[in-house]
Amino acid sequence: MLFGFFRRRNDSGLWGEEVAARMLAGIGFKVLGKRVRVGVRDEIDILARDGDALVFVEVKTRASRMFGRPASSVNRHKRHVLSRAAARYLKSRKFPRVFFRFDVVEVVGRPGDDAPEVNHIRNAFQMDPRYRLPY
């Protein structure tokens, strides 16, 4: 029974990422990758381009608002993990001189919903200062 709980949660997260990717593409972003693995333990939900900017997108999915705002779960620890993933990604690309930012996309709904609520938060936070870039 416990296994089923985690499986539904995972399916909901994957669905939310697909909803977010479609929404971003619909407003002119170029989606470069989804669920991009960086190293052994880090993952970028969506990697996209918005004009000249490289955007690291964290997607948070909730079944309803009763479970809290999805963006509220991007706490200090999560910002640290996302900053580490971004720094590792940029290092793997030999630190290209590119503007980048962190966005959060909230998806409130369930798989099968006709119109989930989607909220895009641009420039949601800055890179953790522990990850200094050479430029």
Tell me the per-residue pLDDT of 27-60, one tens digit each, with 9 for 90 and over.
999 999 999 999 888 999 999 999 999 999 999 9
Q: Quote the pLDDT of residue 68.
A: 64
Residue 7's pLDDT is: 43
Full-model pTM: 0.85
Q: How far is it, in rounded angstroms, from Cα 85 to Cα 83?
A: 5
The pLDDT of residue 9 is: 45
For 56-80, write each residue's pLDDT tens digit. 999 998 887 776 665 667 888 899 9
DSSP assigned state of 73 = G
Residue among 71, 76, 61, 68 at smallest CA distance from 126: 76
Model pLDDT for residues 82-132, shown as the tens digit of each residue: 999 999 999 998 878 889 999 999 999 888 888 899 999 999 999 998 887
Domains and CATH numbers, the chain: 2-125 (3.40.1350.10)
